[in-house]
Amino acid sequence: MTMVWTTWIILGGMASAIGVALSLAGLLLRPEEDALTIRIESLLPQTQCAQCGYPGCRPYAQAIAQGDAPVNRCPPGGQALIEQLAGMLGLEVQTLDPHYGEEPSVPQRAQINESRCIGCALCLKACPVDAIIGAPRFMHTVIADQCTGCALCIAPCPVDCISLHADETPRWQWPLPQLAKLRSVP
């Protein structure tokens, strides 16, 4: 009986030691991984549109850094982004995976047909960059300068009064996410 207990104690001790070692290894590797995530994320367009299949630019950057996702899933970043990421990571340059959408040719902005808006506020909750203002039961409107054209507000609108339009604003007036994309153009 004593022998059985001794064996269990030894096995338990070994399991704990392995657990501690794995945790320490995780802690030691994390800063490097985080630094890479930050570098990758700094190139992403920050539209938070989730077209890459991740809930935002940061999680996609994390997945790329961990080797869990390829670099060709971001339609807003397009080919220029793929080339930048491939160059940074020493990967072969691929084309944008069409499964995740098409690269927009010009910046898009959402517009609300205010005469049809019923003030349900569903679009407000869906916008990842707080580009919509309004209050329940009141008309909502889009702050054009903050809108990244991610289209996430369109589907939730129960009366289909939101649409995307090409933005004719001169490049020097684009908001930061668009400038981030411009920065990635050689």
- Which residues are near ligand SF4 by CB under 6 A? 44-45, 47-52, 54, 56-57, 60, 74, 76-77, 110, 112, 117-123, 126-127, 129, 131-132, 134, 140, 142, 147-153, 156-157, 159, 161-162
Q: With respect to ligand SF4, which residue has the nearer C-beta, 65 or 151?
A: 151
First to last CA, the chain: 73
- Write down the least CB distance from residue 166 to ligand SF4, Å: 13
Burial of 155 (0-12, 13-18, 19+ CB in 10 A): exposed
Please report the DSSP string for 130-166 in residue order: --EE--TTS--EE-TTT-----TTTTT-TT--EEEEE
- Cβ nearer to ligand SF4, comparing 23 with 95: 95
Cβ proximity to ligand SF4, 76 vs 184, nearer residue? 76
Closest CA to 130 of 117, 145, 119, 115: 145
Tokens 């054209």 label which residue?
A: 149
CB closer to ligand SF4, 54 vs 184 = 54
The nearest distance, CB 117 to ligand SF4, in angstroms, is 3
Residues facing residue 111 across a β-bridge: 163
Minimum CB separation of residue 107 from ligand SF4 in Å reads 11
CB of 15 vs ligand SF4, minimal distance in Å? 39
Q: Closer to ligand SF4 at the Cβ: 8 or 138?
A: 138
Q: Tell me how far, at minimum, the Cβ of 32 lies from ligand SF4, in Å.
A: 21
SS3 6: helix
Please state, in angstroms and rounded to a whole number, the distance separating the CA atoms of residues 133 and 106: 24
